[in-house]
Every structure is written in structure tokens, then in C-alpha cells.
Structure 1
Amino acid sequence: MHFTALIAALWIVPALGIVAMLAIRRPRWAEFLNLANAIVVFGLTLTILVAAPDHAWVGGDQYLLLTPLGAWVLFCVGMVYLLASIYAIGYMRLLPEEAPRLHKYYALQAGFALTMLVAPLMNNPGIFWIAIDFTTIVSAFLVGFEKEAECIEAAWKYLIIVSAGLALALLGIILFYWGGTFTLGPTYALTWANLRGVAPHVPEVLLFLAFLLTLVGFGTKVGLAPMHTWLPDAHSEGPAPVSAMLSGSLLNIALLGIYRFLSIVDAGGYGLMGHTALLVLGVISLFVAGLFIVRQDGAKRMLAYSSLEHMGVLAIGFGFGGPIAFAGAMYHMINHSLTKSLMFFGAGNMMRAYGSKAMSQMRRVLHYYPFSGGLWLLGAVAITGAPPFGLFLSELTILRGGILSANPWAVWVMAILLILIFTAFMNHFRRMIWGPEPEPGEAPTLRLSTWNVLPMILAFVPILVLGLWWPQGLWEFFQHAFTVQP
């Protein structure tokens, strides 16, 4: 399989779709062009995942890098992009005031997907940083697409905070490169492999300082606490399909960057400090998410803090290290991508049906929307890590790996915080399902289309299957990915 051709197709298809959508300028054409793009992109990411090399593949004159972990992240992007593109047709049709601009929305959505398909394949950390920056720029336009005051404010907050974080990440990359000059001379090819190769010869203080800068910088993009302050606003104010892509795809890519820099510290012989630093940020993120979920009233804002929680779980999984925790973290990626997409789709439906973002206004959800509301409730059970869904297995595996790690104390902290979050999360849904009847004249009358419900079904089925059955092939793939450079 020629990976260069596959990667070229992966980038060319959405790029051509963007041009076509902007040229045609018709909403109905644009929504189906975007959906066709998403179907092809999903097929290509699946092909790349199935054909992923046993080793790290480098091509494109040393600019492209394909690893098992990178292919897994790409697949998550393709999967969420497809689900969000299906849902966007139903959701955006509920915004008649935006109809004249919908072709721009779909072009931006395809552009957002394109930037996320570029970043994981970059072999140069500097170009990886540029690609991550492009994801910020494009997604900021999507966050502010509805042009309400809260949306514009969230978009600016997102741009300013993430740009500040990425500036620190750039400084960290510069320090990593500078450390390599002591061995390779004043100029050399800036690649992940070269940085790992020279890491044992870089002074400990310089190596760890560079890692901390990249951890804080890309951690801001991931939304790890305490750099998370942009995340609740951006995820809650953007259109629901955009929220799904931000949470289910983009955060994974930034975390991939952190793990690649962590592998450099591992190669330098100081992995324990790096893993502990990542682990501490993960625990803080879980703690902060738990505190804020308890007090939330906004449906999408609560889900945004849930994203903070699950990025904390992933940070803890990678921070534990070892093949078991690593496998649990990879499994958690796909389960979180699917479940969070389902949850944002359900939240988008209920927000439009009840005409409010506040959960206190969403009453007797199962009475008025038994099917989509039931899927949303099952998704809530799944997102809290309860059985029999996929996130239960992935979190349990991470905890198992943590017991065998150098930081077993975090296992108990993580378990206690997850129980707290489960209780708070389900309490909100108890009120929405069994709360008092809506006031006269406030009962929802919106009829949800197939486009609004189908992607919820498509997300729910694999969530349940992956909770009941962890395919042996996936376990072997995760174990192999652990042994290959990320």
C-alpha cells in the first residue's frame, strides 16, 4: 500500500470539497458535498488504519510520519467528522436565519477536518505546531459562526488563550532543537526521531524545561486544567456538530503531540519526571471537572467539563505508562470520541426542542422525545464510565495499568473522582427526566428529523459493542503501538 498516495487523497478530497462548496454557494448542495467528503475521508482513514505499517513509516521527503498511534488518531478524526456531517444536516436546518451562510459553514467544517487530518501526519514538530495553530484559526470561526454575543466572546477567548499556550509550546520546541545542536551541530533536520536520538545527550534541566513548556502549551490546546478556561465557552457556544468535532477529534490530536514529546523525555532517561508531570495535570483536570459538573445548568457546558474530565483520564493513562495503561488510553480515545459525539448531538436536539441551553428548562425529556431522549440518557450513563459501555472497560484498564505503575497513588484518586462525577452527572439527568411538567405553553413541539437521530444511533451501537466485547485484534494493535515510536 502506497501511503503517500493515500495521504494525498486524504487531503485533496476535503480541499476540493471546500472549493466546490464556496463556488456553488447553495446550502443543500453544500451539506451533501460535505457529507460526501466525510464518507470518503472516513473510508480513507479506515484504510490507513487497517494498512498501518508495523513500524514508523516516514515519507514525503522526511516530512510525513505514519505510526500506529497516529493512524488511530486519524481514524477517530474521520469517524467523528462523518457523524458530525450527518448530524449537521438536521441541526443546521433548524437555524433558518443562518441559511444564506450555510455554504460557508460547511466549507469551514470541511476545512476544520482537513487541518486535523494534516497535524498527526507531520514528522517535523515545528510543522506539527503550525498545523495545530491552523486548527485553532479555522475552528474559531466555527465557534463564533452563529454571531451571537456569547459565541463571539467564546471564539475570541479561545483564540487568545490557546494562542498564548501555543506560544509556550513553540518555545519548548525551540529548546528541544537547541538541545540537539550540542550533538548534531548548529543545523539539522527537526524530526521526532532526531530529537529522540539526541535526548540522552541533552542536559537534564534543558530537556525537562523544554518538555514542561510543550506540556503546558499543548496542554492548553487539550484543555487540561488549569489551562482549560477556554474550553467550556468554546464547546458550549459553537454549533453542536462543531462541539462534537472539538471534543471528539481535536483534543486527541493535541494530546498526541504531548505524548510524542513525552517519548523524547523517555528516550533521554528522565521519563519518570515527564510521566509524573502529565499524571498530575490529569488528576487536577479530573478534580476541576468534578467540581464544575456538580454546579452546571447549561447542557453543553456540562459536556464541556466532561471533556475536561476525559482528557484528564487520557493524560492519567499516558502518564501511568506501561502497555496496559497505554492500551486503555487508546481504547478510551475511540470510546470518548463516539460517546461525546452522541452526547453533543442529544444536547443540540434538546436545546432546539426546548429553546434553551439550560437543563432546568428541559423537563420530562423521555415523555416528549422517548427515542432520542432515551439515547441521550444511555449516552449519559456511558459517558460517566458505567457498564456495559466502552468507557467502563477503558477506564478500568487504565486503573489496572496504574496499579503496576510508578505512581499507584493516582489510581485511588482517579477512582474517587470518577464516582463523584458519575453522581453529579446522573443527578442532572434525573431532573431532566423525572422533573416537573413544563409550564403551559412551554412544552416542546419540535419534530426531530432522521438527520438529528441517525448519528446518535450510529454512535451508540459501537459504544455498546465495545463495552461488551473488546476485540482481540484491537488489544494486539494497542500492544504493538506501545512498542513503536508514537
Structure 2
Amino acid sequence: MIGILILILLGAPALASAGSIVFRRARAAEALNLAAGVISFLVSIGLVILAGNRETLFLGGYVFIDMIGAWVILCAAIVYVLASIYAVGYMRLLDEEPRLPGFYALFSLFAFTILAGPLMNNAGLYWVAIELTTLVSTFLVAFEREASSIEAAWKYIIVVSGGISIGLLGTVILYWGGSFVLGPTYDLTWGTLKGIAPKINPAILTLSFLLALVGYGTKVGLAPMHTWLPDAHSESPAPVSAMLSGALLNTAMLGIVRFLSIMDASQIGALPRNAMVGLGLLSVFVGAFFIVRQRGIKRLMAYSSVEHMGIMALGFGFGGPLGIAGALYHMLNHSLNKSLMFFGAGNAMRAYGRKDIGGISRVTDRLPAQAALWLAGAAAITGAPPFGLFLSELVIIRAGLSASYHIVVYAVLIMMIIIFVGFINHFRSMYFEPGSGNAAPPVALDAWCIAPMWLAFLPLLAFGLWWPQSFWTYFATVSQALTGTLP
């Protein structure tokens, strides 16, 4: 049954991509992509329900599903279906009708690569999947063909490919270390690597992890390797920005978590977790100070992604049932919240014809159907109650205190205050101060642009008011599988 679901999960976006190329009609392409998004989302729910605490292998062990992989797929599929709905309305506003089939072919293929990554049961194949996400999404970043978007695409592919090459080097060194245990040829599966980790030279293990952390951390957008992220996220079409932030970053984070799990199995000491916590804290610092000084609306959302990936890294770095539960819950809520925020930013940019915060003013007058919704999303993205990110951040803070990272926790709390003040101040200016953006001619935003914002906001609010007990049980089992810690 699970094998059939995986086949459908990957087959739906692959067929949608091929169909968009074959039919070459905009409406057919958007319908195929939307159908693939819905199917992928429904299948991802089934995978989370059916994934047990033991890995299930397919295709000779090259493809597998485990609980954390199923969770990452669910988060990615949520963003995919929401972005596919939003894309129907947003992409029609760009007046690029002849190019839309090509866009949807790439968009579906991008979703395919993101969904395939967590299924790779081989460290080398996982690297290939992550690199494919870069190659496909580069064309989506540059889709609008403006000088700034083309520059962002070049920066994206150069910086990220360079970083991913470092991750490949870490994988090669890990394989080399394992060759002293199993011989020159063996299966590079995650389970095999965890099994032999205690027998690998600790220096080799540590070096391989640090290289993987830097390499995949570049793709995640952890500071100081985050330099590509603000440009790529801000210059992409809004549905692509949502996929980059809410889906792709999670898939890349999974690679770091799998390497960290190997380090835990080796009982090598605190260095790997301290390195993870250090980069997480630095990312929160960078995100906070750039959020305060930001002038572009989508760049504001992009630096928020740097911050939240840092918080997620802190959760995984703190470890234990609380840290992992907080990080995984944060992953879900961030995917919902960042989709909401990029959709709102895309609507504002279309309505005002501007990308700068100073050019967007009196949002309640220009966008009455979404003004309150977008403002609530802005409060949620800062970690304010009663939304889901507040609960996940609270649990991560508890995990840090339990793991005796007190100074780190206090620093993060200060940064959260700065982020809240900075973010809300930007929205205050857009909502209540006069600006130069009202001169733009009005643009009609249909239900395709508004509905996905509600679909993201409602569960975000629900998960802030109620953390399902089934999620706690699920996360505790994931924690046990990753670290061997009893729930």
C-alpha cells in the first residue's frame, strides 16, 4: 500500500509536468498542476498515517519511507497545494500567457524533486535530489526575466551549488571512513551509516558532519551561508517564493538531521550539536537585524525564513523529545505561515505595482478582503500567540533550558522581541501611514489569490490553540528513532 502511495506521490507532479509540455495550453497546465498538488497532499496524509516506527524499503532499498521523511513530505505537499491554488490567480496577472505552460512544467517538476528528496535512502542519491531542486528552481527564480531576477538566479545557482558541493565532499569523506569498516564497496544507506558510525574514526566523522552542515546549511539558508536566499525569495514569482521557503528549506534541513542522527549513533560527543546550535543562533541574529532594517516586502519575508530555519536548527540541535517535537511542529507551522505571508506579499506587489515597503500604504483601503488576514499572519510569523509558531517556539525554548543551553535561550528571547517590534513596525507603516504606492492603478485580485491565504491561516490558528495529542506521540517516536531517546 505504501509503495503505491509513493508511486502516486511522485507520479502526479511528474505527469503534470509532462502534460504541461505536451498540451502547451495555459489552462490545461494550471489544471494539471493543481490536480497534482491536491493528489500529492492527500497521499502525503496517507504516508504520515501509515509510516511506522520502522523504515519501509522499496526498489532494492534505494527508496524508503520513515516517519520524519513522511512529515517533511506532508509539509512540502501542503505548500505545494496552496501554492498551486494561488498560482492560478497570481500567474494570470503577469500577462505571460504563452509562457505559462513552461512555468507549470517547471513548477510541477520542482515539486517532484522536493518530494523525492526525503524518500532517498542513500546519502549520495539524496545529494542528487537536492542538486536537482537547485537546477529546476533556478529557471523559476528567473521566470519574470527582469535584470534583478536573472541576477538572483545566477547568485542562487552559484552559491547553492558551491555549498552543495561541500555537502558532497562531506558525504564522500563519510563513505571513505566507512570503507575502513566495511571495505571499499558498500551500500551508502542511512541505516548502514548509523550502524557503522561507532566504528568510524571520530575525526573523520566530525569532519564529514561539519562539511555536510555547511553544505546543506547553505541550501537551508543558515547564516552565514544564507546570502542567496533574500535575492532568490524576493525576485521569484510569489508561488515559487512560497515553495522555496515553506517546502524546499525543510527538505534540505532533513539532510542535516540525518547526518546528525549518524553522529548521535557514534556517541562522538557534543561538538555536532553545538555546531548546529551555533549556526541556528547566528541565523536568528542575522534574521533579526536584517528584518529591522529591511525595505523590500518580499526580502522581509526572506529574512524571516533565515530566522525560522535558525530556530528549527536550534530545536534539532537541542535534541531530545522536546527539541525534536518543537522543530517538527515549527516546520509545519512555518510552512503554513510563510505561504500565507508570501501570498499576501504577492497580492500587495500586484495591487500597488511596487516591491518596497515604502510604496505600500493604506492596505485596508486597497486590499480590504485580505488586510486583516495578512496582518494576523504578520503577528503569527513573529511567534506571537495564539498561533502555531508560538507553541513550537515555546517547546524549543523549553528544550534548550532542559539541555542547559541557557545563554542561547536568553539570546534567542531577546532576538524574538526585536523581530516582533521590527516586523510589526513595518506593517504599521504599510497599514497606517500614507505612502507613494496608492497612485498605481487598481488590480482585481480574484478568489484564487485570497482563498489559499485562508486555507493557510485557519490551520495555523487551530494549531496554536490546540496541539493534537497524536502529534506528540508521532514526534516522540521520531525522536526515539533519531536519537534513541525514550519518549
Short-chain TM bin: over 0.9
The answer to whether residue 456 in structure 2 is matched with residue 459 in structure 1 is: yes
- Aligned pairs (5 A) from 1:287-298: 287-298=285-296
- Displacement, 1:58? 2.1
Further displaced range: 460-469 or 271-280: 271-280
- Displacement, 1:406? 4.2
In the alignment, is the contact (CA less than 8 A) between 1:85 and 1:241 conserved in 2?
A: yes
Map Cα deviations across residues 259-300 of structure 1 (whole Å, 9 max, x no partner). 000111111112411111000000000101111111111000
In the alignment, is the contact (CA less than 8 A) between 1:67 and 1:485 conserved in 2?
A: no
The answer to whether residue 246 in structure 2 is matched with residue 233 in structure 1 is: no
Instruction: For residue 371 of structure 1, give the secondary structure of its aligned residue in structure 2.
Output: coil
Equivalence for 2:86: 87
The percent identity for this pair of structures is: 55
**Distance (whole Å) between structure 2 residues aligned to residue 447 and residue 13 of structure 1:** 31
The answer to whether residue 327 in structure 2 is matched with residue 363 in structure 1 is: no
- Displacement, 1:394? 0.3
- Aligned pairs (5 A) from 1:172-187: 172-187=170-185
**Distance (whole Å) between structure 2 residues aligned to residue 57 and residue 40 of structure 1:** 21
Dislocated runs of 4+, deviation >3 Å: none
Further displaced range: 385-394 or 200-209: 200-209
Instruction: For residue 45 of structure 2, give the secondary structure of its aligned residue in structure 1.
Output: helix
Equivalence for 1:54: 53
Instruction: For residue 484 of structure 1, give the secondary structure of its aligned residue in structure 2.
Output: helix
Equivalence for 1:163: 161
Equivalence for 2:334: 336
In the alignment, is the contact (CA less than 8 A) between 1:56 and 1:484 conserved in 2?
A: no
- Displacement, 1:338? 0.2
- Aligned pairs (5 A) from 1:80-119: 80-96=79-95, 98-119=96-117
Instruction: For residue 262 of structure 1, give the secondary structure of its aligned residue in structure 2.
Output: helix
Letter in structure 2 aligned against 1:56: E
Equivalence for 2:38: 39
Instruction: For residue 65 of structure 1, give the secondary structure of its aligned residue in structure 2.
Output: strand
In the alignment, is the contact (CA less than 8 A) between 2:360 and 2:435 conserved in 1?
A: no
Instruction: For residue 57 of structure 2, give the secondary structure of its aligned residue in structure 1.
Output: strand
- RMSD (Å) for aligned C-alpha atoms: 1.1
Letter in structure 2 aligned against 1:358: D
- Displacement, 1:67? 1.0
Equivalence for 1:214: 212
Letter in structure 2 aligned against 1:415: L
In the alignment, is the contact (CA less than 8 A) between 2:351 and 2:366 conserved in 1?
A: no
- Displacement, 1:199? 1.1
Instruction: For residue 58 of structure 1, give the secondary structure of its aligned residue in structure 2.
Output: strand
- Displacement, 1:185? 0.9
**Distance (whole Å) between structure 2 residues aligned to residue 48 and residue 61 of structure 1:** 20
- Displacement, 1:8? 1.3
**Distance (whole Å) between structure 2 residues aligned to residue 271 and residue 464 of structure 1:** 39
**Distance (whole Å) between structure 2 residues aligned to residue 15 and residue 292 of structure 1:** 38
Equivalence for 2:427: 429
Map Cα deviations across residues 402-456 of structure 1 (whole Å, 9 max, x no partner). 11114232111111111111110000000001102657x7165222100010000
Equivalence for 1:24: 23
In the alignment, is the contact (CA less than 8 A) between 2:353 and 2:440 conserved in 1?
A: no
**Distance (whole Å) between structure 1 residues aligned to residue 419 and residue 201 of structure 2:** 41
| Compared CA separation, residues 293 and 452, structure 1 to 2 (3 A) | same
Unmatched runs of 5 consecutive residues or more in structure 2: none
**Distance (whole Å) between structure 1 residues aligned to residue 251 and residue 325 of structure 2:** 17
- Aligned pairs (5 A) from 1:310-389: 310-389=308-387
Letter in structure 2 aligned against 1:20: G
In the alignment, is the contact (CA less than 8 A) between 1:265 and 1:274 conserved in 2?
A: yes
TM-score normalized by structure 1?
A: 0.98
Equivalence for 2:468: 471
**Distance (whole Å) between structure 1 residues aligned to residue 189 and residue 435 of structure 2:** 60
**Distance (whole Å) between structure 2 residues aligned to residue 167 and residue 395 of structure 1:** 32
The answer to whether residue 486 in structure 2 is matched with residue 483 in structure 1 is: no
